[in-house]
Chain A
Amino acid sequence: MSESSYFPPRRSILRKPSWAARLESSFFVLLRVATYGVLLAAAAIFIDIGWKGGRVVFQAAPPFINVPFLTQAPETLNVFTLDGQTVKMGDRDFRAYKAANPEKLRDVHVSTYVYSAGGIFPNIVGTVLLVLGSMVIALALGVCSAVYLSEYAKDGPFIRLLRLSIANLAGVPSIVFGLFGFGLFVVAFDWNVSLIAGWFTLAFMVLPIIITASEEALRAVPKGLREGSLALGATKFQTIRTNVLPYALPGILTSSVLAIARVAGETAPIMFTAAYVVRDQMPWQVEQWTDFFFQGVMALPYHIYVVASKIPQNDYTSDVQYGTAFVFLFTVAAIALAAILLRARMRKKYRW
């Protein structure tokens, strides 16, 4: 009795047309089209912002960058026609000009457009400060909880409930975090609309990302390294500090890059807790250093929101919106890049 009788007869290895194969290849095309569609949409957004925003941020004449846009505070734009020419002036210049030539402007009609002159420097500073502060808090709290959850906690109903809450926290809309931060930090703690209230609100918003990713990074550290350290007579804490956490840091930083993008970009959590529509002083212009934490700031995403929805729209505001969006993307990319570079350095140092 031959064993091969159980099997169908040998078939040619040449391809045979079949409906299944056709279905498969058309399904493959569908997947491909879907992916390209996403890419196309992303490209459209970036090109739109890059093109229209780039025109605001860059210029043809040296120094090629619109320096005032990056270094000045927002101002009201004054537009008027003088001797047949259209003149655009920021508020400060306009007032000086008016004081110098009072009779020249007597019968001239001046249109004013808020926030359309000057630049967005305080907003850049504010966003950078919000990102740095909230990431410090989020990483400190998040890494501690992750270490506790993955290294110390024994699995039980309480820990399961804790993990469930963390997972749920990730799904809470950012506006709810904003209201929570307003209720707790701004009102109950009496911190007012301030950097510190915004930091904690933003930090809580990204905590789930940080905790989940940090836990994963900690678990990815081979068990052998912990055992090797413990077998030498290290305590658990020494082991975690010197032979677990450092190796998990690159993974933790990866999650921070995601968190940075969210922290920098969300408007809802800061609009009741930290963001001012307009503020004349820069964050470092405080009387005491403690005041630093209790001042509100201007921020890029909130500025986009205000300029795009709270004031009459026209070509000038459109320029500010695109320019701000462009700078915003660039700022987030720069902070994220810094985190990525830091991660690369650590990876090189600790590789297993």
Chain B
Amino acid sequence: MSTATLKPADSPTPIPRAPMPPAFVEIDRLNFFYGDKQALFDITLGIPEKQVTALIGPSGCGKTTLLRCLNRMNDLVDVARIGSGEIRIDDINIYDPRVDVIELRKRVGMVFQKSNPFPKSIYENIAYGLRLHGIKQKSQLDEIVEKSLRGAALWDEVKDRLHDSGLGLSGGQQQRLCIARTIAVEPDVILMDEPCSALDPLATAKVEDLIQELKARFTIVIVTHNMQQAARVSDYTAFFYLGKLIEFQSTRDIFTNPKNPQTEAYVSGRFG
């Protein structure tokens, strides 16, 4: 499947651009509803593998909704339903009734807007997911806990208090703990919903650096309302407006050379 077909059909390509890496997650003509209210309109988007893709747009435009479609977190919302369209990973529609949602979520991890460490020790926060994956041996747990905390750039700060509550950490540390917990189970995709919205600039910088490092191992989708952040961390950016995908380009092109006037208005700060 070539990625070109996954671009919005009506987007002209006047300037030749570097080809996108192959898509890992293919969103194909997705229509999504909350009850009778349509929240996503005919979204077609290929999320490139081992890259950071940012979803931007004014609030209420459906970024969170789309993100939560990718790991079927929207199943928890009673009124949520897919009207039509597919989301494919490995050429399997994740909304196919044969799909095991539990296995899907093991492959598509998620970091939430409001950091949500479990009220357990730092160690247990990470071991929890590992045990779900059947890893029970203490030595293995120890090893992966350390590796994940290092991977989340948190090890040096918490190595002496692994058995203290995760809630005793600062906001930024809590969010990195949630990232550590997610990467510990080695998903293919990590979804992040405004992971820095509650963090101060220093903590934000740390998380952003971390995202850059994680890119080598994971396909990352990040929702952000902060355009500077999108510009700093992402390789590709999708701009949404009122539930529609307006433009999807490499981040550099979106910010320097947007094709759609709405995109241009948004990224230049004239609305939103």
Contact = CB atoms under 8 A, between A and B. Distances in A.
A232 B185 contact: yes
B128 A351 contact: no
A335 interface: no
A225 B116 contact: yes
Contact of B105 (A154, A222, A232): A232
Contacts of A233: 102-103, 105-106, 129, 132-133, 185
Given A225-B116, A228-B116, A232-B182, A352 B167 contact: yes
Interface residues of B, number: 27
Interface stretch (B47-55, B70-78, B206-214): B70-78
B34 interface: no
Given A154-B78, A224-B112, A231 B118 contact: no
Interface in B104-118: 105-106, 109-110, 112, 114, 116-118
Q: Name the residue among A225, A247, A352 with the largest chain B CB count within 10 angstroms.
A: A352
Contacts of A242: 128
Contacts of A235: 102
B132 A228 contact: no
Interface string B160-179: 00000101000000000010
Contacts of B117: 228
B225 interface: no
Contacts of B178: 228
Nearest to A350: B119
Interface in A211-240: 222, 224-235, 238
Nearest to B106: A233
B76 A229 contact: no
B105 A231 contact: yes
A151 to B, nearest CB: 11
A243 interface: yes
A53 B128 CA distance: 53
Contacts of B181: 228, 232
A351 B73 contact: no
Contacts of B112: 224, 227-228, 231
B120 interface: yes
Contacts, number: 66
Nearest to B116: A224
A352 to B, nearest CB: 4
Interface in B129-167: 129, 132-133, 165, 167
A309 to B, nearest CB: 51
B104 to A, nearest CB: 8
Given A228-B178, A231-B105, A231-B110, A222 B120 contact: no
Given A224-B114, A227-B73, A350-B119, A232 B165 contact: no
Nearest to A247: B119
Contact of A238 (B71, B106, B132, B167): B132
A232 B129 contact: yes
Contacts of A232: 105-106, 109, 128-129, 132, 181-182, 185
Contact of B119 (A226, A227, A352): A352
Nearest to B119: A352
B102 A350 contact: no
Contacts of B105: 230-233
Contacts of A226: 76
Contacts of B110: 227, 231
Contacts of A351: 119, 165, 167
Contacts of B103: 233
Nearest to A242: B128
A112 B128 CA distance: 68
Interface in B71-111: 71, 73, 76, 78, 102-103, 105-106, 109-110
A170 B190 CA distance: 48
Interface in B208-267: none
Given A231-B73, A234-B129, 19 more contacts: A225-B116, A227-B112, A227-B116, A228-B117, A229-B118, A229-B128, A230-B76, A231-B109, A231-B110, A231-B182, A232-B105, A232-B109, A232-B185, A233-B132, A234-B128, A242-B128, A243-B128, A350-B119, A351-B119
Interface of A: 154, 222, 224-235, 238, 242-243, 247, 350-352
Interface of B: 71, 73, 76, 78, 102-103, 105-106, 109-110, 112, 114, 116-120, 128-129, 132-133, 165, 167, 178, 181-182, 185
14 contacts: A224-B112, A224-B116, A228-B178, A229-B118, A230-B73, A231-B71, A232-B181, A233-B102, A233-B106, A234-B102, A234-B129, A234-B132, A350-B119, A351-B119
